[in-house]
C-alpha cells in the first residue's frame, strides 16, 4: 500500500477520521480519569476501558454509516484504531514497547471479559448519539455525549469490580 499524496502514511487514520473517531474519545476519557482522581489517563483502568469502548463504537458506527468509503482508511486500519489509540496513550506515558504490549493485552482481555459477562452496554446509546452529533458538526454536543458514555462505562466497570471483589482505583 502506498501513501496517497497529501494523505496519511499507510496504516494511519486520516486527519478527519482522527478528529471524529479518536480525538473526542481521548478527551472524554482523559477528563474522566482526572475526575476519578488520576491526572494520567493510562493509570485508570476504567477510563482506559471507556476509551477502548468509545473508539470501538465510533469506528463501528463509522463503518455502518458508510462513511468509511472513498478516501477513507482501509477497513483493517479502522478496525485496529481502538487498540492503536490506547497504544498511543500507553506510549505517551513513557512505557517501553514490551510494556505497552503487555498493557494492551491486559486491557483487551479485560474488555472482552466485561463484554462476555454483559457488564458493558450503558454507554452504547450515548456513543451512538455522539457519533451523529460529531458527524453533523456538533463537536461540543458530541463531546458531552462521549463524556456521558465514558462515565456510564466507568460506573459499569466499577460495579463489576465490586461484584467480583476486585478493588478499583481510589
pLDDT band at 158 (very low <50, low <70, confident <90, very high): very high
Contact 119, 159 (CB under 8 A): yes
By C-alpha distance, which of 33, 56, 57 is closest to 44?
A: 33
By C-alpha distance, which of 140, 146, 126, 145 is closest to 47?
A: 146
The model's pTM is: 0.89
- Per-residue pLDDT of 71-124, as tens digits, reads 789 999 999 999 999 999 999 999 999 999 999 999 999 999 999 998 888 788
**pLDDT attached to residue 72:** 84
Q: Can you tell me the distance from the alpha carbon of 113 to that of 122, in angstroms, rounded to the nearest whole number?
A: 16
**Residue 28: left (phi > 0), alpha (psi -120 to 50), or beta?**
alpha
Amino acid at each position: 500500500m502506498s501513501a496517497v499524496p497529501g494523505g496519511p502514511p499507510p496504516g494511519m487514520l486520516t486527519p478527519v477520521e482522527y478528529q471524529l473517531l479518536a480525538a473526542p474519545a481521548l478527551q472524554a476519557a482523559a477528563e474522566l480519569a482526572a475526575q476519578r482522581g488520576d491526572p494520567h489517563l493510562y493509570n485508570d483502568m476504567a477510563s482506559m476501558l471507556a476509551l477502548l469502548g468509545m473508539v470501538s463504537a465510533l469506528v463501528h458506527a463509522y463503518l455502518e454509516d458508510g462513511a468509511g468509503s472513498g478516501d477513507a482508511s482501509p477497513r483493517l486500519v479502522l478496525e485496529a484504531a481502538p487498540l492503536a489509540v490506547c497504544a498511543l496513550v500507553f506510549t505517551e506515558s513513557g512505557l517501553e514497547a514490551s510494556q505497552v504490549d503487555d498493557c494492551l493485552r491486559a486491557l483487551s482481555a479485560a474488555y472482552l471479559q466485561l463484554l462476555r459477562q454483559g457488564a458493558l452496554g450503558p454507554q452504547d446509546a450515548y456513543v451512538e448519539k455522539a457519533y451523529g452529533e460529531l458527524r453533523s458538526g456538533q463537536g461540543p454536543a458530541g463531546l458531552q455525549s462521549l463524556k456521558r458514555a465514558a462515565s456510564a462505562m466507568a460506573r459499569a466497570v466499577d460495579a463489576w469490580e465490586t461484584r467480583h471483589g476486585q478493588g478499583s482505583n481510589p
